[in-house]
Chain A
Amino acid sequence: KNQVEQSPQSLIILEGKNCTLQCNYTVSPFSNLRWYKQDTGRGPVSLTIMTFSENTKSNGRYTATLDADTKQSSLHITASQLSDSASYICVVSAGQTGTASKLTFGTGTRLQVTL
């Protein structure tokens, strides 16, 4: 069964600090891994997307890494801001050629940035 596990479940950090969120997955066949940011009551917004051959990708203060051998990914947030407070969801696609992609969602990490 395809699974995506994230840790920690929740995290509180001070504004300006860095943090790293973890994602482990068992999804086959692997297509790509995405990190989404979801504000409460809103739809997820894509931060990064990586395929098997990519091991790091940045989007502003967000940097995602992927180790396809160990099936692990991380999302590093630098110089956190209050607006970073949200749920961060790791999503792995087990897409197959010719079909709509089917995603396996992690349960998310709820990040709270405080003053």
Chain B
Amino acid sequence: DTEVTQTPKHLVMGMTNKKSLKCEQHMGHRAMYWYKQKAKKPPELMFVYSYEKLSINESVPSRFSPECPNSSLLNLHLHALQPEDSALYLCASSQQTFPLSYNEQFFGPGTRLTVL
């Protein structure tokens, strides 16, 4: 299985809602990532988990809360979002190996989020 899956594909939520995005991989990868991508822009890194621990938080507002329950799953909890948070949210995973290696990132298809 060389696939990263994300659910839901589309999500519409109000500014007072609480929702979660889910990401799953079964490639044995130990690094998982959340990206935010606005239209016609490159993906922007939000969070990185390495061995189920948060290793990078790119100064993301606290209304986005990541969670890594196990090595195969990555969640992004959403609360009190703003309309400008509407975007494509991408999950990715990569293999952690030593010494330096490709660390190729495999991306999921994304969740299209609309905040009303």
Contacts and interface: CB of A to CB of B under 8 A. Distances in A.
- A-side interface mostly: loop
A93 B103 contact: yes
A102 B99 contact: no
Size category of the A interface is 20 to 34
B98 A97 contact: yes
Nearest to B104: A49
A31 B109 contact: no
Contacts, number: 66
Residue in A95, A100, A105, A107 whose Cβ sees the most chain B Cβ within 10 Å: A100
B79 interface: no
Contact of A100 (B4, B43, B96): B96
A12 interface: no
A60 interface: no
B102 A32 contact: yes
Contacts of B81: none
Interface of B: 4, 6, 31, 33, 40-43, 45, 48-50, 55-56, 88, 90, 92, 94, 96, 98-100, 102-110, 112
Interface of A: 31-32, 34, 36, 41-46, 49, 51, 89, 93, 95-103, 105-108, 110
